[in-house]
Structure 1
Amino acid sequence: MSSISIFHCVYLMFLLSSISKVGYGKMVFNVMNYGAVADGNTDNSKVFECVFNKACQSEGINLVLIPRGTYMLWPIMLKGPCKGQVEFQIKGTLKAPTDKASTVNVYYWIAFQYIDQLILTGGGKLDGQGLAAWNVYTCNVDPNCKALPISLRLDFVTNSRINHLSSINSKSAHMNVFACEHVTFDYIRIIAPKDSPNTDGIHIGSSSNIDILNSIISTGDDCVSLSSGSKDINIQDVKCGPDHGISVGSLGGVRNEEDVSGLTVTHSTFIGTENGLRVKTWARPYSNNVFNLTFENIIMENVDNPIIIDQQYCPLRNCKKGDSQVQIRDVKFRNITGTSSSKIAIAFDCSKSKPCENIELNNINLTYNGAGGPVTSLCSNAKGIAIGQQQPPSCIYRSLQHLY
């Protein structure tokens, strides 16, 4: 239970002289002045909610300060719109609960909704305590499985920055971005064991103009994943691994999905990942489009599937073979170098009824030193061009590499 009642919170709002100015116009709301307890056991969710609401309803620039220390925090929803700009500065460690009521069939741990110009920063840490929940994860075998909480959920957040934060051991995805615009993630560190289930680093859906920069992501599922409606996503100077790499999809699994377009991944490194650059779709009769993807200046270090398009994606048992109706086109792989841990370094398994169109392989240099070499590529229903160096030799349909 909370260490502070709602009545007590309202009372403190009127009586505590707990607000100070830092620089011109910035007001600081220190959670310790409102009754927060940094003992790692006391639930601080009501305190944090009260302090956030006070800052949110104040005009100007307002800073919610969480000093160093360890704060237990039950699931919390922090909701705008706000009258001014709110900066949530986390210097301490926030710990998630491990009880069943706060874990099973719960969709978030910390959520921000309907906020413009939010800043999350401070150098602190979000500890999801996922070890207590991973053993009850069944979604890999049960489509009707119970949800586990996402550590940080952003819904309808705009013109915002999340930087200098760490997320460890999330129960489900570390960070989820839905219906957001113009949000930048910078200097983020995400850590969970490579066998932790469904712990995507940053998952994006129905959002546009999202930047992920200068970050390290080492987790159990996709480093970054894009679902339907992701548009104009920029990933730069990110180190992934070990995890499942950067994935577009899965797509085409349900009706009426939005298109995915405008992804750019540059100057990034993949170390020991299960996949590198991946597009994955279900072989089901639901159509949408994936287009204008650019992967450039990428280093692979011992990556199992460095470049892969999989239109027969099926993580469940007994999937029926079929033709995906997702059209993939205008995908560029440029200056991709390094080592593959499998003989097949490039695999394009595209739909027979909607072949991949305008695939570009430009200066690819991937080597493999394992048994059964040399490195090779495998293509099905993929059309495009190969330019410059091609290691492994390109198998793409209508290859034009002899012209260069």
Structure 2
Amino acid sequence: MKDGTATLEVPHGKTFKLKPLQFNGPCNFPSVHFQLEGNIIAPRNTKAWKGHDSERWIEFLNIDGLIIDGGGQINARGSVWWEFCRENSCSRPTALFIHNCNKFLLNGTRHLNSARNHISINSCTNSKVYNVTTIAPEDSPNTDGIDISQSSYILIQDSTFATGDDCIAINGGTSYINITGVTCGPGHGISVGSLGKKQSYEVVEHVRVYNCSFTGTTNGMRIKTWEGGSGYARNISFQHIILTNTSNPIIIDQKYSDLTNEGKEQTSAVQISGVTYRDVKGTSQSEIAIILDCGGVTGCTDIFMDSINITATSSGSKVRASCNNVHGFTTFTSPPVPCLS
């Protein structure tokens, strides 16, 4: 213990193999410091999870003032799960799960090859993620860099995500999320959603993605909602964005299909409004560089685009925009968006 802080150290140059592990508060210290200078690795055999929650590997629960930092590495060795779950219907563990830890700091760590999400942030407030790197193969399933849910006032800054799924996924119950200085690729981009699955009510608001880059991603800036859901996604901005060889650079998909309602006309939708794209530049692998596909009765409203310049990756090719049931306006946008004035 130092200065009222309880410290657990993983020394530099040392490697420790951990079975599923849970750190559960509340704690009697104002702060808990997990100083990761060395390496942590997961078991190679899925049987190590027998008797444990197969959806988690390392959990921090109910610890306010948590600090996880250092130049160390968390290697979940998830390939055994990717192979096993291709042949068997099974849940896979998130590598690092942080729940109800207010004012936590995650700084300087490296995260490799999670079986599923690398980092999940749930029910946390006033917390920061700095200088974090996550890496997994481009074809690894559902290996999101960071998933955020039921949380507010979260800052993610100066970090790199190269995974098989979303670099950052912003799920229901989140607000005041600030993402800045992030490098994404490969992966599926930065996503709001999906929201409204199985006719659920979900909300996301006050999201700011600023000064970020996407390289070789299958999506860039994405908002996705299920048909038949309800709630809202609003006050979302993407500004100062660089795209390099990105498929679907800008996409709003309000028509995710829920198989339980397939064939039924859906009038309800998660309402999407107040979305700003400003100073977005770069290249698209896809012919359709901007997709705004909105449903429900009102569609998407108050969509604003300014200083957009997206060209084709291939010399001599052209890109275009596609839109449906979208309301708003554009200035200095290329390709032009036909349903926005």
The two structures share one fold, judged by TM-score above 0.5: yes
The answer to whether 1:363 aligns with 2:311 is no
Q: Match for 1:163 among 107, 117, 134?
A: 107
Which residue identity does 2:40 align to in structure 1?
L
Q: Match for 2:163 among 219, 223, 226?
A: 219
With over 3 angstroms needed to count, the CA separation of the structure-2 counterparts of 1:185 and 1:149, relative to structure 1, is same
Query: Hey, what does 1:271 align to over in structure 2?
Result: 215
The alignment yields a C-alpha RMSD, in angstroms, of 2.1
Question: Could you state the TM-score of these two structures normalised by the residue count of structure 2?
Answer: 0.93
Q: Match for 1:384 among 304, 328, 331?
A: 328
Q: Match for 1:125 among 65, 70, 73?
A: 73
Whether contact under 8 Å (2:117, 2:146) holds in the other structure is yes
The answer to whether 1:299 aligns with 2:299 is no
Q: Match for 1:76 among 21, 28, 47?
A: 21
With over 3 angstroms needed to count, the CA separation of the structure-2 counterparts of 1:319 and 1:124, relative to structure 1, is farther
Query: Hey, what does 2:273 align to over in structure 1?
Result: 329
Query: Hey, what does 1:113 align to over in structure 2?
Result: 61
Q: Match for 1:199 among 143, 154, 169?
A: 143
Whether contact under 8 Å (1:137, 1:197) holds in the other structure is no
SS in structure 1 of the partner of residue 109 of structure 2: strand
Question: Could you state the TM-score of these two structures normalised by the residue count of structure 1?
Answer: 0.79
Which residue identity does 1:384 align to in structure 2?
G
| Per-residue CA distance 1:243-272 (angstroms, 9 max, x = gap) | 000001111113443310011000000000
Query: Hey, what does 2:83 align to over in structure 1?
Result: 135
SS in structure 1 of the partner of residue 103 of structure 2: strand
Which residue identity does 1:96 align to in structure 2?
A
Whether contact under 8 Å (2:116, 2:144) holds in the other structure is yes
With over 3 angstroms needed to count, the CA separation of the structure-2 counterparts of 1:317 and 1:131, relative to structure 1, is farther
Whether contact under 8 Å (2:254, 2:269) holds in the other structure is no
1:318 Cα deviation (Å)?
10
SS in structure 2 of the partner of residue 190 of structure 1: strand
Query: Hey, what does 2:224 align to over in structure 1?
Result: 280
Bigger RCO of structures 1 and 2 (CA < 8 A, at least 6 apart): 2
Whether contact under 8 Å (1:103, 1:148) holds in the other structure is no
Tell me how far apart the structure 2 counterparts of residues 93 and 218 of structure 1 sit (CA, whole Å): 20
1:116 Cα deviation (Å)?
0.6
Whether contact under 8 Å (1:90, 1:125) holds in the other structure is yes
- Write out aligned runs for 1:138-157 (5 A): 145-157=89-101
Tell me how far apart the structure 2 counterparts of residues 241 and 351 of structure 1 sit (CA, whole Å): 29
Whether contact under 8 Å (1:72, 1:96) holds in the other structure is yes
Query: Hey, what does 1:394 align to over in structure 2?
Result: 337
Query: Hey, what does 1:100 align to over in structure 2?
Result: 46
- Write out aligned runs for 1:237-276 (5 A): 237-276=181-220
1:233 Cα deviation (Å)?
0.4
Tell me how far apart the structure 2 counterparts of residues 269 and 103 of structure 1 sit (CA, whole Å): 37
Tell me how far apart the structure 2 counterparts of residues 173 and 302 of structure 1 sit (CA, whole Å): 25
Tell me how far apart the structure 2 counterparts of residues 373 and 319 of structure 1 sit (CA, whole Å): 36
Which residue identity does 1:98 align to in structure 2?
R
Query: Hey, what does 1:87 align to over in structure 2?
Result: 33
Whether contact under 8 Å (1:71, 1:94) holds in the other structure is yes
1:353 Cα deviation (Å)?
1.7
Tell me how far apart the structure 2 counterparts of residues 369 and 291 of structure 1 sit (CA, whole Å): 31
Q: Match for 1:312 among 223, 247, 255?
A: 255
Larger mean Cα displacement after TM superposition, 341-350 or 311-320: 311-320
With over 3 angstroms needed to count, the CA separation of the structure-2 counterparts of 1:292 and 1:177, relative to structure 1, is same
Whether contact under 8 Å (1:343, 1:370) holds in the other structure is no
1:287 Cα deviation (Å)?
0.8
Whether contact under 8 Å (1:200, 1:222) holds in the other structure is yes
Q: Match for 2:287 among 326, 330, 343?
A: 343
| Per-residue CA distance 1:17-72 (angstroms, 9 max, x = gap) | xxxx7xxx43xxxxxxxxxxxxxxxxxxxxxxxxxxxxxxxxx1122111021100
- Where do 5+ consecutive residues of structure 2 fail to align? none
Tell me how far apart the structure 1 counterparts of residues 161 and 301 of structure 2 sit (CA, whole Å): 31
Whether contact under 8 Å (2:226, 2:258) holds in the other structure is no
Whether contact under 8 Å (1:312, 1:322) holds in the other structure is no
Tell me how far apart the structure 1 counterparts of residues 281 and 193 of structure 2 sit (CA, whole Å): 24
- Where do 5+ consecutive residues of structure 1 fail to align? 1-20, 27-59, 400-404
Aligned residues: 336
Which residue identity does 1:99 align to in structure 2?
N
1:321 Cα deviation (Å)?
7.0
Runs of 4+ in 1 over 4 A off after TM superposition: 314-322
Tell me how far apart the structure 2 counterparts of residues 356 and 293 of structure 1 sit (CA, whole Å): 13
Tell me how far apart the structure 2 counterparts of residues 317 and 103 of structure 1 sit (CA, whole Å): 32
Which residue identity does 1:313 align to in structure 2?
Y
